[in-house]
Structure 1
């Protein structure tokens, strides 16, 4: 494979070839990619961006995995698990890039399994407990709408590795957002009970929206532009679902600064337990 095409290979759709989905067949998920940072790219900014987005994806994937055996239908268990696997694939690529540029030389396992909660930089919305199905759908809608808007813009980032990761993620996140939107309409425009639960979920999730929308000032991306797209998407979905947009007060604190809720540490304890019990083990 020539260096001229390696970034395109990372970003393109491989169909049944899962080579780039989770790094299948490679110890390093960015195997074969030129990892040199282009001149003019702020290495600290690149590392912070990769770490934060990787943490968002890892924590979100863990919450989605908790729906296995608990979702309303078997088909939804499979769908949520697959969305979680997409996010794990993004996590691996982002952690790998972070380890290459932050000076630590750490691998993806070090970031996922051997950091405590106060070292994580995910947005706090990702770490909240699942609640009922309506809450998880609203959270998925908000997170995927925001992440898709951001990845569309990061696909032209000055670092070609990050740009390729984002371009690949756009295809996955488009499905994530559509899946959540379909369920939001189905529940909002469904029974009185499902409508009530969706309104309650919106009241819980939307106070976290300001933190989310303020967390995207990487590589000159216009946070206002991202905000406008996300709010437009949410408005369209809620209108179709017959759900009024509630007035909420934004919450203080920022997960990007290490301001954690009490829910992340127990989530990580479960996620990291085997790796910490058997450090260095492979299987």
Structure 2
């Protein structure tokens, strides 16, 4: 007798739709990570992606930036926004263009991208505490991995909207239930597995695929484990901040304990500085996500 397939298994052999930007996402990631490029050269690369260029110009002229005079070129937009914002936003826009999560009632686009951008920021800051001889581009790779860590949830929200919505409702109702446990019950998979599956189809660098798949596994100590633990710790910090409903008193947000960071010689004092920096950036990042994706 044939076993009953889970909702994910029923979708498993469908092809992942690739937007024009995602087809060349590796080129995009390499370009925005290249410190040798000046703003003019970076703008020349980004101009090949009209949607990204348009969004960057829109953001640079928005109330979030509040320029004194209109910004009319991509180069000026890059200069005004800064390389860190340009990198995170460009990759986020490329990813978002491949999915439509509107049919998933409980999926909160603003919250998703607020958290993803903050995880990216946290990952960069945490990775910068490690000895740089381990990997030349370690902090930058961590920043990219932070943006991409929740890739699988976007796919689930689009392709299994009802099941994913139910999982999201369950974790809202039960604070002790993890997102992946709820997704496993409702869809037959979790967002880490799905994200790694998509990453392979997109031909992302192997380190990113590993981190997407393993960042919630605190016991993982194999290939690229340090990067995976950094992303997991960054997500833990951001989740604690996001879960706090009233951020008018930042000192009330408690730094979560993370043994993996201690094992990487990132002490509690360093963690605390980074954590409270993220608390201070939450409202601004939320406004950024609203400007870009709503």
TM-score by length of 2: 0.28
Instruction: Give TM-score scaled by structure 1 length.
Output: 0.28
